[in-house]
């Protein structure tokens, strides 16, 4: 592999948004496996990264733990990545990771249930800090919560993979995990009769379905009548408060996507008092787009990032941000209540976001003619670019060879930004992690 793109060492005192010389000598670190789908910060500022060993139906999930400088953590599985399956001998891929206050590692992903390789289910695993399974969780540290309402509903999304001998592969980023009040909430989406739906589950600390949530632990969210035949909801990015579950994604109408927020009661039922029957969306040009990630900005507002279009850019998508309060009203303190489209290298999109302790919003995504660039941006709390960040007065770009795929990020306490993802070069796929000065 030609690794010129991963061997650029920055100056001793790089500005915010440039590669951190204290992490892997200022270089992008190539990981094992074929994917890096999420990253979390644990005790001692260690990095917990999850992904998969393959992009096809032979995949197992991977957990890698690194020290703050990018070296392997020898206290976790003797410095090696954990490779395992949610169910023995069944294809598995991890989507998200969360480090619990006691140092345990909880991961969420999917497992394919034969004989139909197009059907996959939610799956979770919990590990002790030393990298051994937490046997108090589920069965041998794993939980695959099955629900009768989800029969024949697949969480999987398949596409072509250059390095796969098969024509289809497991697409990462299909599920979302949130912990609140001692419960684990998980979400994903499926397609039934050509219509996108959101699936929710709620589990207790042992990995069992919570019986007072939805229908004995599971809930299906779809647009209520009289519009279910025309409004298809795909909202899988999730946040949970003491009162509600918030979902972000899009509603499809007339074969176009419009940004959408959804609010659900903690019992799993759609909150019909929120917006229009539980949904906040806008069927005009400023509403065109989709949320890929949502997060809390403070105790009162939420922000979503993804991609959007305007009347002037109908054929091109741009990195998009929007903010609302918890009741669904546009936040007037964020770009005067309007969505933000950031034009970077022609087309662009944000994949993930996080909010720093000082309220600034950090984003990562892809751009370029062939989406060959990783882009990372930082916005002020009012939605304007933070001109102190990156070489482009608010954002920076990093060439990632032939194509940059989905990415994810987290922010350390010192504002350093850790980004994971995967890129392609010569029909091969490489997972990576890097750290930027914040």
In-domain check, residue 33: yes
Task: Reply yes or no on whether the pLDDT at 164 is more than 70.
Answer: no
Whole-number pLDDT of residue 226: 64
| Contact of 239 with 266, CB cutoff 8 Å | no
Q: Find the mean pLDDT for residues 307-325.
A: 88
CA distance 369 to 404: 11
Q: What is the pLDDT of residues 82-134, one digit of tens each?
A: 999 999 989 898 999 999 999 999 999 988 877 665 568 899 999 999 999 99
* Phi–psi pair at 120, nearest 5 degrees: -135, 160
Of 158, 251, 235, nearest to 200 by C-alpha is: 235
On whether the CB atoms of residues 84 and 78 are closer than 8 A, the answer is no
Structure tokens belonging to residue 196: 């996108």
Q: For residue 30, is it within any domain?
A: yes
pLDDT of residue 366 exceeding 50, the answer is yes
Highest-pLDDT range among 110-114, 261-265, 279-283: 261-265
Q: Are 308 and 288 in contact (CB under 8 A)?
A: yes
Q: Residue 65 pLDDT > 70, yes or no?
A: yes
Does residue 360 lie within any of the structural domains?
no
Contact criterion met (CB below 8 Å) for 381 and 359: yes
SS (H, E, C) 329-373: CECCCCHHHCCEEECCCCCEEEEEEEECCCCCEEEEEEECCCCCE
Helix (H, G, I), strand (E, B) or coil at 24: helix
Separation between Cα atoms, residue 15 and residue 72, nearest integer Å: 26
What is the model's pLDDT at position 159?
37
CA distance 264 to 246: 6
Q: How many domains does the chain have?
A: 1
Average pLDDT of the segment spanning 397-426 = 92
* Selected residue with higher pLDDT from 130 and 403: 130
- Whether 85 is in a domain gets the answer yes
Average of per-residue pLDDT across 211-237 = 86
Question: How far is 74 from 77, CA to CA, in rounded Å?
Answer: 7
Residue 112 lies in a domain: yes
Is residue 13 very low, low, confident or very high in pLDDT (cuts 50, 70, 90)? low
Write the burial class of residue 112 (CB in 10 Å: 0-12 exposed, 13-18 middle, 19+ buried). buried
Residue 367 in domain? no
- For 83, the token pair is 């490779």
Confidence of residue 18 (pLDDT cuts 50, 70, 90): very high
Quick check: is 374 in a domain? no
- Whether 294 maps to a domain, the answer reads no
The answer, as to whether pTM is greater than 0.75, is yes
Average pLDDT over residues 301-326: 90
CA distances, 192 to each of 123, 154, 218, 252 (Å): 20, 9, 16, 14
Domain residues for the domain of 106 are 22-173+412-428
Of 57-61, 113-117, 293-297, 424-428, the one with minimum mean pLDDT is 113-117
Q: What is the mean pLDDT of residues 179-206?
A: 91
Q: Give the count of beta carbons closer than 10 Å to the beta carbon of residue 431.
A: 23
What does the alpha-carbon distance between residue 141 and residue 107 come to, in Å, rounded to a whole number?
A: 11
Query: Which band of pLDDT confidence, cut at 50, 70 and 90, is reported for residue 55?
Result: confident
Q: What is the mean pLDDT of the chain?
A: 89
Q: 1 pLDDT exceeds 60? A: no
């Amino acid at each position: 592999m030609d690794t010129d793109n991963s061997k650029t060492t920055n100056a001793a005192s790089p500005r915010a948004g440039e590669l951190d010389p204290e992490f892997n000598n200022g270089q992008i670190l190539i990981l094992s496996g074929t994917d890096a789908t999420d990253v979390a910060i644990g005790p001692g500022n260690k990095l917990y990264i999850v992904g998969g060993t393959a992009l096809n139906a032979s995949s197992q999930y991977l957990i890698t733990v690194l020290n703050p400088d990018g070296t392997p953590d020898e206290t976790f599985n003797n410095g090696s990545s954990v490779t395992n399956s949610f169910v023995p001998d069944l294809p598995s891929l991890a989507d998200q990771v969360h480090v619990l206050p006691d140092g345990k590692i909880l991961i969420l992903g999917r497992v394919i249930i034969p004989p139909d390789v197009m059907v996959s289910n939610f799956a979770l695993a919990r590990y002790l800090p030393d990298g051994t399974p937490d046997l108090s969780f589920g069965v041998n540290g794993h939980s695959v919560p099955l629900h009768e309402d989800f029969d024949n509903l697949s969480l999987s999304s398949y596409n072509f993979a250059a390095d796969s001998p098969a024509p289809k592969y497991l697409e990462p980023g299909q599920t979302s995990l949130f912990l609140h009040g001692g419960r684990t909430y998980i979400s994903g989406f499926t397609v039934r009769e050509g219509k996108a739906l959101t699936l929710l589950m709620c589990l207790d600390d042992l990995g069992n379905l919570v019986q007072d949530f939805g229908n004995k632990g599971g809930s299906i969210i779809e647009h209520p009548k009289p519009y279910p035949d025309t409004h298809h909801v795909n909202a899988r990015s999730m946040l949970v408060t003491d009162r509600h579950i918030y979902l972000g994604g899009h509603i499809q109408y007339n074969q176009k996507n419009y940004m959408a927020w959804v609010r659900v009661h903690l019992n799993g039922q759609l909150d019909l008092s929120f917006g229009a029957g539980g949904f906040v969306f806008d069927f005009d040009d400023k509403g065109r787009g989709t949320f890929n990630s949502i997060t809390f900005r403070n105790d009162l507002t939420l922000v979503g990032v993804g991609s959007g279009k305007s009347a002037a850019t109908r054929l091109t998508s741009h990195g998009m941000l929007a903010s609302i309060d918890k009741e669904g009203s546009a936040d007037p303190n964020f770009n005067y209540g309007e969505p933000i489209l950031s034009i970077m290298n022609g087309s662009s999109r944000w994949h993930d976001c996080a909010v720093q302790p000082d309220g600034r919003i950090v984003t990562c995504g892809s751009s370029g003619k062939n989406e060959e660039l990783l882009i990372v941006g930082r916005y002020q709390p009012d939605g304007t670019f933070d001109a102190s960040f990156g070489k482009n007065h608010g954002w920076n770009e990093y060439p990632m060879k032939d194509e940059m795929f989905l990415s994810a990020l987290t922010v350390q306490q010192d504002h350093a930004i850790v980004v994971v993802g995967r890129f392609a070069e010569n029909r091969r796929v490489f997972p990576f992690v890097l750290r930027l000065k914040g």
